[in-house]
Structure 1
């Protein structure tokens, strides 16, 4: 394949490193980055901001649509845009509502990284430690916490773009509404046609401006933290309809004071669940109920054994008629005693601009090495993974994708790519574990480093360093420190009772 024009979708950490890897290959005539927000940073940008929050109605637009997997399906595109001329349309709720489009970021004011900066930065662009941790971070993560606040991470991502002048390649405030692979105008090949939209000021007021641009390849770096995943628990849809506004998702959590004096259930067992539990246990009505099906494979139940937290088994049903919530151990919670139910149950993949790419069991089938779409490798993905050193691994993915698109690395034939996916499914199973790096982290890094190879002679291509076990070890030390800190808090809370 001959690739000269590349579009990058998203200006978060994956987009930042993908852009740099592409530019440094020195083979592409055009690299364009499209970001729907007005600044770089991706999911580390708080939207809406605290000042703008009063303009929005944060919350799930339709719980039923999320559960039935028919949310975030894209919007109608004006037919005239296909005639090759820009089109202006009126601003509408369907097209422009951040809530209906799931455009708000899934972070809150006091969120911190889940990894130490040494484990998270890129090889040539480490994360600087510019400020000491805030007092509330120390109280939740330990006095020696090295977890970094969201503002630092957003600034770091922005610096990666600016360091090499790549910020000039970004088209901010621009949403990719459609990406279609169609015949070129001369019918001699195929190309990607992106339908783009942004708000513009006109004499008639604010309008949507739609237009199209053409590319040989597309790199999707828009992340997977915008569409909430909520399990299909019996009775949940009916319960939500009878008690609207009672059920929410961790995506819409913003601050602990919003739950002051309220009776809260947090459903889920991973990072977002215990982060919220730790934050609100001092403000919500005690105890905060943590309903956990599967504790974190890393932390276990320790994060939920703190004072003012009641660890319970997972929810198996909701009864709207009786206003009851039944747990797996047979116990029942009276719904009338609960003000808010927060699902901290993660996110699903959603690519509304390519409707044929559907999430199945919380993964996108057909991605070779989690990067290349087998059906058409001119479509690549950066950041469709999770599990320890994830952000650092974006660099390995970006370099591999850039080398393939530059024609310097050849992909295996279709049968080999099929077998890779089948083997991965057999070893890890379907769902989240399929695209989780942990526990064989080193193998992932080294296999992709070997695949990408060295940069071409005379080029400025990025050099992937050999995996260092210290990247992982510093993370495990952090885990141990946090567990010890939480255990100390729990033990100190018991002492007055025993004296």
Structure 2
């Protein structure tokens, strides 16, 4: 299947949008490359916004998958409309980021960097104190500025339309019509217009819409004790947990990062509720004198405040129940006929990138366990080559077969878009699809997959477990271990 585009829109100016833009421009095959970013700066999910008060506007909407819905758009363009809560609320639109003041990257720079754009060797005082002069973790602002510099270095910042939300992307014939809205703050008005493209690259990330499991009694509990139920997206600082009795739900990176921030100020012990931890890291993060490990929550009792766990034990109440349970995909600007989200994954994508039914629609960064951000580069170059007509996708039936075989192997849920178990194959297959740059162009060259990237990841697993062990020993030396059950 061959595609040929001259005008390409990129949605999002985070890490995925930055590398997608660079790959498209360097392909030297497009008349127009336009980037639309709803924030005022580049950086995507790495933009820190402490001034925005965090909250979940409707837990029911999240659980019923009715949050972050399309908005009503005008019928005539261009036009201006009044600023309204339903259209402009960052809470209703989930446009704020899940960044807290002490957030650092959780992967080593060599696995996060793009081939031609290394992440600066800038170590924060906090990382230096915890891990020494060779600390592999980078402060959130280092990452954000690195993303911004990818745009600025080659002048790509001029391609970005900031403060602009893509409210609708519709395929009409062979063209994509994008309905765009820019907030004019000084006028408290929304300016709307439309632009036409041959292809759309979605690089919006998947860290906007919180995922919260539907546990019996949760909605009623939230209504009875407002502000108790929270998501790690809305964790800003430890100040909000001082002296609080906290139940933290989840076993992945966001869970153990939040846990070791919160335990220093909260009421002890913090209750960690999880089925099992992220396999790569094991139980080290949760094994601490000030942490009690519990299995998943079975039920919330709004009448009494009691919380039951699946092992039959209970606690009488909690001041905060913090769900560090990940995110759902959300693309309110796309018709459901173009993208179907079911079982927490996007359906109908080839190699997690190309829409099987219409390859002029592609997605960058919609994978998990894939050596973020490096895999984004392989995806972006493959997209650029395909859209330039320099790489050919398999026939539609072959792409559908790929999806079916992956479902059979990995299931039809979250495991489908995790590439942790087949990293080398994923990189190499995307590299083979992209091929070499066309002669005489500045197209990006993709190197071979390197085992050293995984070795670097294993080193940070060791480093983190060593620090958790040190913290455990330090706490044990200061006080007698808490006995499980004294909650």
Gaps of 5+ in 2: 482-487
- How many pairs were matched up? 477
Show structure 1 runs of 4+ deviating over 3 A: 137-144, 495-499
- TM-superposed deviation, 1:297: 1.4
CA deviation map 1:45-65 (0-9, x unaligned): 112xx3xx2xx4411010011
Q: In 2, distance between residues paired with 1:200 and 1:64?
A: 32
Q: What RMSD over aligned residues (CA atoms) do the two structures have, in Å?
A: 1.6
Q: Pick one of 23, 39, 42 that aligns with 1:40.
A: 42
C-alpha spacing 1:281/1:491, structure 2 compared with 1 (3 Å): same
Q: In 2, distance between residues paired with 1:493 and 1:206?
A: 52
Q: Pick one of 54, 67, 74 that aligns with 1:71.
A: 67
Q: In 2, distance between residues paired with 1:201 and 1:481?
A: 46
For 1:381, the equivalent position in structure 2 comes to 363
- TM-superposed deviation, 1:142: 7.0
For 1:361, the equivalent position in structure 2 comes to 343
For 2:82, the equivalent position in structure 1 comes to 90
For 1:402, the equivalent position in structure 2 comes to 384
What is the TM-score of this pair, normalised by structure 1? 0.93
- TM-superposed deviation, 1:423: 1.1
Q: Give SS of 2:76's match.
A: helix
C-alpha spacing 1:201/1:311, structure 2 compared with 1 (3 Å): closer
Gaps of 5+ in 1: 184-189
Q: In 2, distance between residues paired with 1:292 and 1:126?
A: 36
- TM-superposed deviation, 1:323: 2.0
Q: Pick one of 307, 310, 333 that aligns with 1:328.
A: 310
Q: Give SS of 1:122's match.
A: coil
1:9 aligns with 2:11: yes
For 1:220, the equivalent position in structure 2 comes to 202
Instruction: Say if 2:393 and 2:433, in contact at 8 Å, map to a contact too.
Output: no
Instruction: Say if 1:13 and 1:391, in contact at 8 Å, map to a contact too.
Output: yes
Q: In 2, distance between residues paired with 1:374 and 1:437?
A: 19
Matches within 5 A, 1:121-132: 121-130=113-122, 132=123
For 2:182, the equivalent position in structure 1 comes to 198
For 2:484, the equivalent position in structure 1 comes to none
1:348 aligns with 2:332: no
Q: In 2, distance between residues paired with 1:134 and 1:399?
A: 36
Q: Which deviates more, 26-35 or 431-440? A: 431-440
CA deviation map 1:241-285 (0-9, x unaligned): 222211010000000112111111111111111111100111111
1:162 aligns with 2:142: no
Matches within 5 A, 1:106-117: 106-117=98-109
Q: In 2, distance between residues paired with 1:144 and 1:269?
A: 27
C-alpha spacing 1:235/1:433, structure 2 compared with 1 (3 Å): same
Q: Give SS of 1:359's match.
A: strand
For 1:187, the equivalent position in structure 2 comes to none
Instruction: Say if 2:230 and 2:321, in contact at 8 Å, map to a contact too.
Output: yes
Q: In 2, distance between residues paired with 1:123 and 1:211?
A: 36
Q: In 1, distance between residues paired with 2:161 and 2:139?
A: 26
Q: Give SS of 1:230's match.
A: coil
- TM-superposed deviation, 1:443: 1.3
1:22 aligns with 2:24: yes
For 1:134, the equivalent position in structure 2 comes to 125
Instruction: Say if 1:224 and 1:384, in contact at 8 Å, map to a contact too.
Output: yes
Instruction: Say if 1:351 and 1:358, in contact at 8 Å, map to a contact too.
Output: no
Instruction: Say if 1:180 and 1:192, in contact at 8 Å, map to a contact too.
Output: yes
Instruction: Say if 2:231 and 2:323, in contact at 8 Å, map to a contact too.
Output: yes
1:119 aligns with 2:125: no
Q: In 2, distance between residues paired with 1:150 and 1:29?
A: 34
What is the TM-score of this pair, normalised by structure 2? 0.95
Q: In 1, distance between residues paired with 2:7 and 2:30?
A: 6
- TM-superposed deviation, 1:439: 2.3
Q: Give SS of 2:177's match.
A: strand
Q: In 1, distance between residues paired with 2:85 and 2:335?
A: 21
Instruction: Say if 2:12 and 2:38, in contact at 8 Å, map to a contact too.
Output: yes
For 1:186, the equivalent position in structure 2 comes to none
Matches within 5 A, 1:244-255: 244-255=226-237
Q: Give SS of 1:211's match.
A: strand
CA deviation map 1:210-256 (0-9, x unaligned): 00000000000010000000001111112112222110100000001
Q: Give SS of 1:439's match.
A: helix
CA deviation map 1:417-441 (0-9, x unaligned): 1110011111111222111121221
- TM-superposed deviation, 1:410: 1.0
Instruction: Say if 2:211 and 2:325, in contact at 8 Å, map to a contact too.
Output: yes
1:31 aligns with 2:33: yes
C-alpha spacing 1:30/1:363, structure 2 compared with 1 (3 Å): same
- TM-superposed deviation, 1:488: 2.7
- TM-superposed deviation, 1:319: 1.6
- TM-superposed deviation, 1:321: 2.2
For 1:435, the equivalent position in structure 2 comes to 417
1:314 aligns with 2:306: no
